[in-house]
Each structure stands twice: as structure tokens, then as C-alpha cells.
Structure 1
Amino acid sequence: MEQAQRSSPRDLLTHLFVMAGLYVSAGMFLSLVFGLVDAYLPDLLTSYYDPASGIRWSLATLTVVFPVFVWGSWFLAKDIAANAWKGELRIRKWLVYITLFAAAALVIGDLVSLLYNFLGGELSGRFLLKTLAVFAVGAAVFTYYLYDLRRSALIFSPRMKVFVIAACLVVAAVVVTGFAVAGSPFRQRLVRFDQQKVSNLQTIQGQTVYFWQQKERLPQSLDELRDPISGFTAPRDPQSGAAYEYRATGALSFELCAEFNLSSKDALNVPKPEPLYYPYPGGVTENWDHAEGRACFARSIDPELYAKPLR
């Protein structure tokens, strides 16, 4: 009868559930920390990046999974306190030892990486912060589960209670910072509107250059870009539905204008290198940095760069 209790499917699934929550929470916590480091200490060699996209996914997962993991751990501790023999379950010991091994391997690998990069002279602030985060997570997991493996089922030391509370507060602080960087859902919708507007302007720019290549002149209005064969129609502002502003300013120059909700500098609540670039499909990188409100982009066609196709 006791052996049947020891091999209960409920115990097996509960322990697997809690450990899965631990691994997911630890992974998403590190992913969130890495995203915040990239946001506040951007790589100047990267011309375009959006750390908020990765931060949002880590934030959503951690916000849901971590409280479930904490509740599951509390439930297990309460169950073991009421049934001391469950502290000796094989599934529990196997999972705890596997977790200790993984945490120790993580810490050792982290230290090896730190030493390797130190010898190579590559100890940047970004790398040190990420290394510290990995070390802290590995050490915290190892410390807690080593204590949990050795402690009596009825005793939970005050020091470990403080340790657990401190760990939860650290996670909460990182989550709050993540929300501050990612911004509110309303703000993110405005950012996406602005990104779509830039994409539309790029499309119009490309079609305008193609029009010039084919007809050796610039269109007088966006209506001239309409092509019933290819099906192209100049896109409109996705937010207001209005047509974008276009004006030919010379034989080889034109201007595109749109209304933006936010400055591209303020699209993320973090500092980033200047200026903001979007890759242009033709291989030429144009600056699409813009202010809040109406912004115009002056473009000039280089006849040598955009050679007319042979007829």
C-alpha cells in the first residue's frame, strides 16, 4: 500500500510540473535580463534592433509561469510537511539531483566563459552583466535545492525564507523594469503603426524609383504609381486611412511625408545609438529617423546608382 502511494501519478506529475516551471522561469528570467542589458547597453555595431520584441515574450512567459512555479513549490513543501515520507520519493530526489547538476554545470560553464573572454580581452560591460546574471541564477538554484534536499520536512530556516523572499523580489524588480522598457500595450500599438508607416514609405520610394527608371521622369502624384497589371496601389496610412504626402521637388528628387505617433528616438524607453536605420530592399540604407508628428523624407535619385534598365 505504501509502495503504491510512493509511486502515485499525482506525485510524479506534481514534481515534473514544478521542475518544468523552474526551468522555464530561469530561462525566461535570463532572457529578460539579457534583453534589458541589450536595451540599456546597445551594441553600437548593430544599426537596427528592437529589444522590446524579445523582452515582451520573456515578460509574458515569466509573469505567468513564475507565480505558478512559486505556488507549486509551496504546495509541494506543504504536502511534504504533512507527509514526511514524500520527501524521500525517488522522483523527487532524481529531479532535485538533476537540477543540482544542471545548476552546477551552468555556474562552471559561466566561469569558464568569463575566464576565456578575460584572456581574450573582451570583458565589456554587456558581457559582464550577462555573465553575472547567469552565475546568480545558477548559484541561487543550486543553493536552494541543496538546502531543500538536506533539510527536515518540518523545518524551513529563517535565513532560507529571507533568501526565497529576496529572490522573488529580484524577479519582481526585473519584471517591473521589463514592463517599463516594453511600454504599455497602447504605446506598443502606436509603435507598430509607425513601423508600418515607415514600411509603406519604403514601398512607395521603391516604386517611385522604378517608375523613374521606366519612364525617365518622376510621377506627379502617387496615383501615377498605380499599375493594374502588377496590381500595385500606393499604400495608405494604416491609422488614418489618408494617402501619404508625395511631392516631386526636382527632376531627380522627391519628398515623402507622414504623420507619426512617436519619435523614433522614443519608440523604446531606453537610450540607443543614433540614427535609427531600416534596411532598404534595394541594398541602399536610407535614414528613416523621424520626430513625433509630421515628418518628411527628402530623397534624390543617383542616375549612376540606379541605372536605367536596358531596353
Structure 2
Amino acid sequence: MRRADQLAEFVRDALNAGRNREEIGAALADAGWSGTEIATALAAYAESDFSPPVPRPRPYVSAREAFLYGLMFLALAMSAWHLSSLSMQLIDRWLPEVGETTNIFDLRRMRWSTASLIVFFPLFFALNLRATRELRRDPGKRRSTVRKWFGYVTLFLAAIGLLGDLIYVIYAFLNGDLTLRFGLKALVVAAIGGIVFLYFSAEIREDADAS
């Protein structure tokens, strides 16, 4: 039996036997359990006089949700990458450097990014809409561990992108390379990363408020 299961079973049996939470906490502390472990085990059961003890909802993992959120993450990442790439290619065409010409490789990259956006952005939109509808039907899905990981990993990568963009802008400024074209490209990265960061920050806050 795992330590967490052993502790949860003891707390349940103790509450069922009529022991109060202070007594249970003291007994567990004397036995060597940490304060965090004790608090977590006691919080797993609602504070009520109902017998047997009423368990609180717990996070869960679903293979189906792992597939859906994994596909959603891929669609979001590819959409952000190709939107950024296409935007930068367009900026290069609108603000060419002296002697710079558009070659067939640049045109192919633009077409590839456009094709990727046509596929991945609607896929992300459809999967995100589906996840939102499922949350409305069953708010308990906010406790999905996969959903939480998806949100925090996306936030982490968006934050890394924003920090990297800021560092590069400062470097270009110090190096004397801060041109209008460079500034527009940096703005594109900041806009895409900022939108993703703000959207998923709001999602995570909403999940926290609902829990």
C-alpha cells in the first residue's frame, strides 16, 4: 500500500470512529508525518458530522483527455509557430533591405506556413471549443490533471518566448540593430506569446476559482 493510501485510510477510519481533526493531526504528527501530509490527508474529507466521512473531489487522469489535450497543444504550438513565421516573411517583403529579393525558397516557406495554419488553427479552435462545452456540461472536468498540465506547460512556453523576445530586443538596441523591420518582428512574437499567455492565465484562474 502506498504511503498516501495508508494515510488516507487511517484518517478515514479515525473520522469514522468519531475522532476530531485535532486529535488525528496530533497522533499523525507524533508518528512522524509532516504537517503538509497531515493537512492534505485531512482536507481530503469534508468537515461535516455525516458518517461515514464524506470524501472531497480529487484530481483525476484520463487517457482520452491526454489524447485530446495533447492534440490541442500540438495544434496551438504549430499555429503560433507558423503564424509567427508567415508574419515575419510578410514583413521582410513589405520592408526589404537594400539589394534583397524574394526567392522561391521564401515563397515556399510562406505557402507551407499558410497551409499549416489552414489545418492547425481550425483544429485548435474546434478542440478548444469542444473542451469548453464539456466543462460547461461537467464542471468536474476542471479537476483534470491533464488539463492543468496542459495549461501550465503552455504558460511556461509562452513566458519563455516572451522573455527571449525581450532579451533579443534589448540586445539589438545595445548593438545598434533596432530597425523598424526588427521591431515589427519582435512585436509579432510579443503579440502571439502575450495572447497565449493571457488566455491560459485566465483559464487557470477560472479553474482555481471554481475548485
Q: TM bucket by the smaller chain?
A: 0.5 to 0.7
Identity %: 34
Please give the alpha-carbon distance, in whole angstroms, between the structure 1 residues aligned to 2:80 and 2:202.
18
The one-letter amino acid of 1:141's match is: V
Deviation at 1:43, TM superposition (A): 2.8
The one-letter amino acid of 1:8's match is: S
1:27 aligned residue: 81
1:61 pairs with one of 116, 124, 146: 116
Tell whether the 8 Å contact from 1:81 to 1:154 is kept in structure 2 after alignment: no
Q: For 1:118-267, what aligned pairs fall within 5 Å after superposition?
A: 118-151=173-206
Deviation at 1:47, TM superposition (A): 5.1
Go from structure 1 to structure 2 and tell me whether the alpha carbon gap of 1:152 and 1:89 turns closer, same or farther (over 3 Å shift): closer
Tell whether the 8 Å contact from 1:81 to 1:153 is kept in structure 2 after alignment: no
1:14 aligned residue: 68
* RMSD, matched Cα: 2.2
The one-letter amino acid of 1:72's match is: L
Q: Quick check: which one's strand share is greater?
A: 1
2:136 pairs with one of 71, 81, 87: 81
Deviation at 1:154, TM superposition (A): 11
| Structure 1: runs of 5+ lacking an equivalent | 156-311
| Structure 2: runs of 5+ lacking an equivalent | 1-56
Q: Which has the higher contact order (CA 8 A, sep 6+)?
A: 2
Please give the alpha-carbon distance, in whole angstroms, between the structure 1 residues aligned to 2:158 and 2:126.
21
Please give the alpha-carbon distance, in whole angstroms, between the structure 2 residues aligned to 1:94 and 1:48.
42
Instruction: Name the larger-Rg structure.
Output: 1
Go from structure 1 to structure 2 and tell me whether the alpha carbon gap of 1:48 and 1:13 turns closer, same or farther (over 3 Å shift): closer
TM-score, structure 2 normalization: 0.67
Tell whether the 8 Å contact from 1:84 to 1:153 is kept in structure 2 after alignment: no
TM-score, structure 1 normalization: 0.46
1:72 aligned residue: 127
Please give the alpha-carbon distance, in whole angstroms, between the structure 1 residues aligned to 2:109 and 2:61.
40
Structure 1: 4+ residue segments shifted above 4 A: 152-155
1:116 and 2:200 matched: no
Go from structure 1 to structure 2 and tell me whether the alpha carbon gap of 1:154 and 1:37 turns closer, same or farther (over 3 Å shift): same
Q: How many residues align?
A: 152
1:216 aligned residue: none
Q: Quick check: which one's helix share is greater?
A: 2
Q: For 1:89-108, what aligned pairs fall within 5 Å after superposition?
A: 89-108=144-163
Q: Deviations along 1:40-73, whole A, 9 cap, x unmatched?
A: 1123243562432211000011011101110100
Q: Deviations along 1:121-173, whole A, 9 cap, x unmatched?
A: 11112111110000001110000000011115999xxxxxxxxxxxxxxxxxx
2:38 aligned residue: none
Q: Deviations along 1:25-48, whole A, 9 cap, x unmatched?
A: 000100110111111112324356
Please give the alpha-carbon distance, in whole angstroms, between the structure 2 residues aligned to 1:100 and 1:90.
15
